[in-house]
Amino acid sequence: MNLLIIIDEAFRALRLNRLRTGLTMLGMIIGVAAVVLMLSIGQGAQAHISNTITSMGSHLLLVVPGATSSGGLRFGSGSVKTLTAGDAQAVAELPSVEATAPVVSGIAQFSYGANNWSTTITGVTPDYFSVSNWEIEDGSIFSEADLRSATRLAVLGKITAENLFGKEDPTGKTLRIANRPFLVVGVLAVKGQSLSGRDQDDNVFIPLTTAQRQILGNQFPGSINYMMVQGKSADMMEEAEMEITRLLRQRHRLSDRMENDFTVRNLTALAAVASTTAKIMAWMLGAIASISLLVGGIGIMNIMLVSVTERTREIGIRMAIGASRRAILTQFLLEALMICILGGLTGVVLGISGAWTISQIADMPVVITLGMIGLAFTFVSVIGISFGFYPAKKAASLKPVEALRYE
């Protein structure tokens, strides 16, 4: 008996018991759909984090004001202005540092014509846009000369531009910030949310000196909220962190017994941890969902054992007219495998449909790859062969005489 005949016989046996076949496939359908759905959501979250990390820039360190004490009172990290623009200039000269970007920020009211909008205003240097890997979509950014002269120029995030100007091109227009006129020189490309969930596109950037002197004001002249530092390479990040710490301790005149009044955070390391965590979660979700595949495999084995019992006389007749034990074994294995593959195909379609529906309703990124689908099919094939082997072996082990006598 050749393979094509065996396959035809397997299909015929499955068609004769359509309801049973459908119910048996249900376990595989649910299992594969769950695996595809969970992996697509998990990998979507991982891709979202990776994109966010890429948008932040490369080889980044974040230096923020640290905890300090005054008059017996201890203030938490960032509560006291301990960093200055001069610190950022000094850090930029370190051999392991490519560039620095000091930042001050606050909330301001913006208006253009009849439109007004309240959002974040951020004072930066021109290096900020290269350090944070932020591209300009229209127009340009301000220059070092604008920074020195505290010119009233503004670069808008995409969301802010849309809320103030609608479909009108903002470049070259004048908006008012805290009732002061500012010329819009550029609009930034879409960047999306930060790791903290804040919408980075809802922002207005002006020269650092302009923000300090005219908009935000500060009781500590020259102070900044934080600075972003770009290392020269990934291998020099640890060296840059140590050099920054030594330099700032010297500049802030901290003795050996005094704690740092600043904190240096390696964003690249934090981002790598976040990405690894998302990857682990994706595989954990897939592993949990795959349990339903094992349950489906047990169901297949049970149904196949029932099928062997019901078809004992048929097996005896086949053996009596010349069918080999190998042919019987192959037929029952193929039946189990077909149930798994057909259930797997249906499960993949349902899983992809479910993932797409979730992405549309919940605005959640999902990623579906051929590797994911291939993994699901490999798993169901292994389950079909593993759980179908025992019933198939039992069928092939029947003695023709005893099988013919079975009632």
- Got the DSSP string for 278-327? HHHHHHHHHHHHHHHHHHHHHHHHHHHHHHHHHTHHHHHHHHHTT--HHH
Q: Residue 260: what are its φ and ψ, rounded to 5°? A: -65, 140
The answer on 104 and 44 residing in a single domain is no
Shared domain for 281 and 242, answered yes or no, is no
**209 and 351, same domain (yes or no):** no
* Residue 56: per-residue pLDDT: 63
Q: CA 217, CA 211: separation in Å to the nearest integer?
A: 7
Q: How far apart are CA 345 and CA 341, in angstroms?
A: 6
Cα–Cα distance between 183 and 187 in angstroms, integer?
12
Backbone angles phi, psi at 107, to 5 degrees: -115, 135
| Residue 117, token pair as written in the block | 């909008």
Neighbours of 401 (CB within 10 A): 10
User: 144 and 35 in one domain?
Assistant: no
Number of separate domains in the chain: 2
Same-domain check for residues 336 and 212: no
CA distances from 337 to 241, 348, 381 (A): 57, 16, 6
Could you give the 3-state DSSP secondary structure of residue 103? strand
Radius of gyration, alpha carbons of the chain: 33
pLDDT value of residue 80: 60
Domain boundary among 260, 294, 328: 260
Q: Mind listing the pLDDT tens digit of every residue in the chain (407 residues)?
A: 466 666 666 667 667 777 777 777 887 888 888 888 888 887 787 777 666 666 666 688 889 987 544 444 444 444 467 888 899 999 999 999 999 999 999 999 999 988 899 999 999 999 999 888 888 999 999 999 999 999 999 999 999 999 999 889 999 999 999 889 999 999 999 887 765 567 788 999 999 999 988 888 766 677 899 999 988 887 888 899 899 999 999 998 888 888 888 888 887 666 667 667 777 777 777 777 777 777 778 888 887 787 777 777 877 887 787 777 888 888 778 878 888 888 888 888 888 888 888 888 877 778 887 877 887 778 777 887 788 888 888 888 877 767 666 65
Same domain, 235 and 279: no
**Distance between first and last Cα of the chain:** 26
Query: For the segment 11-44, what is each residue's pLDDT rounded down to a tens digit?
Result: 676 677 777 777 778 878 888 888 888 888 877 8
Q: 213 and 329 in one domain?
A: no
Tokens representing 54 are 């890429």
Report which of 317, 343, 338, 325 is spatially closest to residue 388, judged by C-alpha positions. Answer: 338
244 shares a domain with 102: yes
CA 12 to chain CA centroid, nearest Å: 46
CA separation for the pair 208, 222 (Å, rounded): 10
164-189 core/surface letters (b: 16 or more CB in 10 A; e: else): bbeeeebbebebebeeeebebbbbbe
Angle at 77 between CA 76 and CA 83, to 5 degrees: 125
Residue 374's CB is within 10 A of a number of other CB atoms, namely 10
Residues 6+ apart with CB under 8 A from 2: none
- Could you tell me if residue 314 is inside a domain? yes
Q: Under a CB-based contact definition with an 8 Å cutoff, are residues 58 and 266 in contact?
A: no
User: Of 260, 288, 308, which one is at a domain's C-terminal end?
Assistant: 260
Is residue 144 domain-shared with residue 120, that is, in the same domain?
yes
CA distances to 71, 164, 192, 261, 355 from 67, in Å: 14, 38, 31, 6, 45
Domain span holding position 393:
3-52+273-405
Residue 61 in any domain: the answer is no
Same domain assignment for residues 207 and 101: yes
